[in-house]
Amino acid sequence: QKEVEQNSGPLSVPEGAIASLNCTYSDRGSQSFFWYRQYSGKSPELIMSIYSNGDKEDGRFTAQLNKASQYVSLLIRDSQPSDSATYLCAVSGLEAGYSTLTFGKGTMLLVSP
């Protein structure tokens, strides 16, 4: 059974700080890694994807991947109250030509003004 682990939180940070969200996964064959943001009562929204070791930056978001440690993280710089949401880590392998995602249970982020 593939597993994706996240700290459930809540992670509380003040406005303007850096929020660091972490995720570990069990399947060494995983190839694609995603971060989703989910506001309360809404569906998940894809915000970042990363496929190779290292950092990938998109605006205030940076995804980091370390396949040797089976670890992926999301940094949010200059955190805003509107970033308050649950962040889901998802990991994908490739099986029989198609892929399925395994999701972590999510980390709740609270950004205080």
Partner 1 sequence: DVKVTQSSRYLVKRTGEKVFLECVQDMDHENMFWYRQDPGLGLRLIYFSYDVKMKEKGDIPEGYSVSREKKERFSLILESASTNQTSMYLCASSSLGGRGLFFGSGTQLSVL
Structure tokens at 95: 């099986």
Beta-bridge partners for 64: 55, 73
64 binding partner 1? (CB under 8 A): no
Using CB atoms within 10 A of its CB, is residue 4 exposed (0-12), middle (13-18) or buried (19+)? buried
User: For residues 33 and 50, is the Cβ–Cβ distance under 8 A?
Assistant: yes
Instruction: Give whichever of 8 and 112 is closer to partner 1, judged by the CB atom.
Output: 8
Q: Which of 74, 104, 108, 109 binds partner 1 (CB under 8 A)?
A: 104
The least CB distance from residue 92 to partner 1, in Å, is 6
Binding site for partner 1 (CB under 8 A): 32, 34, 42-46, 49, 88, 90, 92, 94, 97-101, 103-106
